[in-house]
Amino acid sequence: MKIKLSCTAFALALAALPLAATAAGDPFLKAQMIAENLEPVIVHPEQQKAVQEKLAALEKHSGRKPNILILLVDDLGWGDVGAYGGGTAVGAPTPHIDSLASGGLKLTSTYAQPTCTPTRSAMMTGRLPARTGLTRPILTGENPKVNPWASEQTAAGLLSAAGYRTALSGKWHLGEPDGFQPQQVGYDEYLGILSVSSEFSQGLDARLVPNLVLKPERMAALKKVSRSAITAGKRGELAQVLEPIDSIEALAQIDQKFANFSEDFIRRSVKAQKPFYLIHSFSRVHNDNYPAKGYAGKSPAGFPYKDAVVEVDDIVGRLMQTLKDTGQLDNTLVFFTSDNGPSDDLLPDSGYTPFRGGKGSTWEGGVRVPGIAYWPGIISAGRQSDGLFDLMDLFNTSLAVTGNSAKVPKDRYIDGIDQSSFLLSDQGVSNRESVYMYAERQLMAIRWEEFKVHLKVFDVKRAGANLDESLVSSTGMSPWVYNLYVDPKEQVSTGHRNFEWGLPRVVGIAGRHLATFQKYPAKDLGLAKPVQ
């Protein structure tokens, strides 16, 4: 009888989800609302104060604002990096990335969105894809009916206005048409690809896609909708073709070109005595990987994917050396991460995660990514934390460490949180209470403390089919609950058996979150599937 009563109460609570449920007053919850348009924050005044003092002392000493370098790898798995248990163990050592982890802060609960475009847009705007409308990758020749960038603010744009030199090097994948390009939405400089590696390889590799590459009519049509080239542009200009990507050999070299540009951008910025904000956005290790010159077979594993991991690691080492050479190593916040989990569907051209699922899903394998913050002299070496960090937090954090928190927009909902005090203070703990995991517009799951609560689940019909053959299913009356400390692979839901105490907390958080869409409606770019 007791169980029946509690289940009924729970069902009622779930039914109230879309309403303005509030978690205020719940003694289990720690986050406070600090503004109506901001994600609630766990406030830690002492660590905040300590970091402000640290940054002020550094600026006094260096005489300039700090730089920000975000190293964003495409589709790298949590388990690919040596510091996370991969590296040598999976046939692709990552000594340079590992040294960032050992010399800085290794985060074990960093979360991305399930795919490229959603993560990148969220990281740059501090807003969930469900709000900006950038809910899935934009594919070959697609022109969204609404330009999301016409009404979004990027950290790059806000920092550029504050005197920073800003650049996007490498993969963009946030829209190709006029008005969508990086140098039109806040970046002073751009050199890279506007789409994604696989969009080029599909038109080049006759072994992979013969029914396109070997069919002249289809190839002629492809050339009309897809520009296979490295492009570049300066603020306000339309990007121009720098060089075509017209062979597999040319495609294999693009990350080296991006590294050349990033190195040059850092050197020029330092010479101009300007602080910089640079997103170095690797094309690697997204499919299809072809080894750059000198990299074929360089990894112990010998597969092109693993050679690409080794190349990424070498480029990380090269950019860190550039910071050192220019005297900026101790004046730069470096953040290393991946935009989503490994693409299981593509083995062996994909990475490794110890978690369930992969890219495209909201199981941990799809969204839990490496996250390393490195800043000698500011971040103590050897720190590790399982505190929650969402890549959207890089928006607020970048503004905070550069002294521009006042520029966080007030006219829209911001899902990111200022995590500068978490990352930079010696004993810092996370300011984030929960992480929301979405599939397009659907709230799928919530991470709270060590628990993962699925309101809906990705149902995968066969191994390695997270994108190609999955379903989204509603859970039964009880959400599926996994304690990630005892069941990190999310294998045995312990929903109502030993989390009855916690479910109302998470239901309250979900209700509070969903209610924000009422005052701040989501944008619709027309990216949803045309289904009845």
Minimum gap (Å) between residue 171 Cβ and Ca ion: 8
Cα–Cα–Cα angle for 327, 333, 337, nearest 5°? 125
Minimum gap (Å) between residue 157 Cβ and Ca ion: 23
Measured from the CB atom, the residue of 228 and 340 that comes closer to Ca ion is 340
Measured from the CB atom, the residue of 116 and 266 that comes closer to Ca ion is 116
Q: Give the residue carrying structure tokens 């006219």.
A: 411
The terminus-to-terminus CA distance of the chain in angstroms comes to 42
Element (H, E) at 513: helix 503-519
**420 is a contact residue toward Ca ion (CB under 5 A):** no
Measured from the CB atom, the residue of 104 and 351 that comes closer to Ca ion is 351
Residue nearest to Ca ion (CB): 116
Kindly name the residue from 44, 61, 96, 116 that is annotated as catalytic: 116
Minimum gap (Å) between residue 103 Cβ and Ca ion: 26
Measured from the CB atom, the residue of 133 and 341 that comes closer to Ca ion is 341
Minimum gap (Å) between residue 343 Cβ and Ca ion: 8
The tokens describing 519, both together, are 């005052």
Stretch in the footprint of Ca ion (CB under 5 A) among 10-18, 33-41, 299-307, 334-342: 334-342
Kindly name the residue from 44, 173, 280, 513 that is annotated as catalytic: 173
Whether 457 contacts 472, CB under 8 Å: yes
Report the candidate in 289, 351, 281, 283 with the shortest Cα–Cα distance to residue 319: 281
Buried b (16+ CB within 10 A) or exposed e, 82-115: bbbebbeebbbbbebbbbbbebbbbbbbbbbbbb
Report the candidate in 373, 393, 371 with the shortest Cα–Cα distance to residue 81: 371
Measured from the CB atom, the residue of 55 and 116 that comes closer to Ca ion is 116
Phi, psi of 299, rounded to the nearest 5 degrees: -80, 150
Minimum gap (Å) between residue 339 Cβ and Ca ion: 4
Whether 385 contacts 104, CB under 8 Å: no
Identify the sign of the CA torsion 340, 344, 348, 351. positive
Q: How far is CA 357 from the centre of its chain?
A: 17
The tokens describing 354, both together, are 């110890």
Total binding residues toward Ca ion, as defined by CB under 5 A: 5
Stretch in the footprint of Ca ion (CB under 5 A) among 125-133, 338-346, 474-482, 517-525: 338-346
Measured from the CB atom, the residue of 80 and 339 that comes closer to Ca ion is 339
Site string for Ca ion, 75-94 (x = CB under 5 A): x-------------------
Stretch in the footprint of Ca ion (CB under 5 A) among 66-74, 147-155, 324-332, 481-489: 66-74
Minimum gap (Å) between residue 147 Cβ and Ca ion: 22
* Cα–Cα distance measured from residue 437 to residue 251, given in angstroms and rounded to the nearest whole number: 33
Whether 232 contacts 188, CB under 8 Å: no
Minimum gap (Å) between residue 31 Cβ and Ca ion: 29
Catalytic status, residue 7: no
> How many CA atoms are closer than 13 Å to the CA of 9, on its beta-carbon side?
11
Site string for Ca ion, 223-262 (x = CB under 5 A): ----------------------------------------
**185 is a contact residue toward Ca ion (CB under 5 A):** no
Minimum gap (Å) between residue 116 Cβ and Ca ion: 4
The tokens describing 115, both together, are 């795919």
The DSSP-derived string for 132-195 is HS--S---TT---SS-GGGG---HHHHHHHTT-EEEEEEE--S--STTTSGGGTT-SEEEEESS
Measured from the CB atom, the residue of 116 and 443 that comes closer to Ca ion is 116
Site string for Ca ion, 111-130 (x = CB under 5 A): -----x--------------
Measured from the CB atom, the residue of 125 and 328 that comes closer to Ca ion is 125
List the one residue from 38, 41, 73, 74 that touches Ca ion (CB under 5 A): 74
**339 is a contact residue toward Ca ion (CB under 5 A):** yes
Whether 287 contacts 198, CB under 8 Å: yes
Catalytic status, residue 116: yes
Measured from the CB atom, the residue of 77 and 91 that comes closer to Ca ion is 77
Stretch in the footprint of Ca ion (CB under 5 A) among 53-61, 110-118, 207-215, 264-272: 110-118
**404 is a contact residue toward Ca ion (CB under 5 A):** no
What is each CA distance from 422 to 40, 368, 419, 449, in whole angstroms? 15, 18, 5, 16
List the one residue from 94, 198, 331, 340 that touches Ca ion (CB under 5 A): 340
Minimum gap (Å) between residue 281 Cβ and Ca ion: 10
Report the candidate in 447, 386, 433, 491 with the shortest Cα–Cα distance to residue 34: 433
Q: Which residues are catalytic?
A: 116, 173
User: Residue numbers of the site for Ca ion (CB under 5 A)?
Assistant: 74-75, 116, 339-340
